Structure 1
Amino acid sequence: MVKRPVRRTLLIVCEGKRDAAFLLHLRKLYCADHAERPKVTVKSARGKGGNNVVDTLYGERRHKDFDVGVAFTEADEPPKPSYQTKLRTDRWARWIVADPCLEGLLLSILGRPVPASTGDCKRAIENLTRNDLFEADHYDPHWPLARLEDARRRIANLDELIRSYEGR
């Protein structure tokens, strides 16, 4: 009888469709051909800010057994303080924040200036990519593996996110 290693599982809950598409892009790059890496499930909380991301994360945990859970939120609509405390103290969960939003993180990865407002970040990304970024494949031209690997050395929250995909 051949023993197969049990693959760890990772649940990442984010706010919206664009966030989910980026997280699926990371899954494709970091987990697709690596049997030793976790099986990653990405779930969108369908908006409504950080509180809904945390509620969705823990709601999914009640129904399915994941080894690790990640709340990927944006700084412009963070979870309420009691949720932040729960995420910081729960050994099962991790909390990763895109500042001020996903689009700001994407601009940082590209080495571009990050505007202070979410609206300005969204406009800057749309002008740069000429794409809505609602599909994982839309990230391929601007955010390939080599660029992400370079950027993770200078962007702590990106490194933490990628480390989750690597099972660390």
Structure 2
Amino acid sequence: MTKRHASATDLENVGASVLRYALVTNLIWIGTLKFQKYEVENIKPLVTSSPLFSSVVKKLGEKRTAQLIGVTEIVIGSLIAAKPFAPRASAVGSMAAIGMFLTTLSFMATTPGVRQENHGKTKLSMVGQFLLKDSVSLGASILTAAESLKHTRH
């Protein structure tokens, strides 16, 4: 292996680790916030306007729905973090994250106020910007899934 190739591989490995554990940190931290009253209020417009979640909110209520989402995020983050000793579990967590981020990105189509009113279709509001960043997390989840699956074979 040439020195140039080794340093590129090293950089790739560092980048993959940073990406994995940044994703883990985001999921666990944000998941714990779902137990705070202000976060229940923050996600209310997202979940009540979603065809996927509106019936869950009606059945469980806003607080329990937020807590269910929080527990889910914490579990997914913990599974992704388990790669060094349980790569198969980590792959499952990453696959679950892919589904979760596809779901949250669907809120772009269902949540009122995603775009700035009277400013055109491409002008995102703060809510739209908040949701759009999940496309990066989706990409991170796909990469962590692939990396974990590679390690299940070793």
TM-score, scaled to structure 1: 0.23
TM-score, scaled to structure 2: 0.25
User: Which structure's residues are more often helix, by fraction?
Assistant: 2
Q: Higher Cα Rg: structure 1 or 2?
A: 2
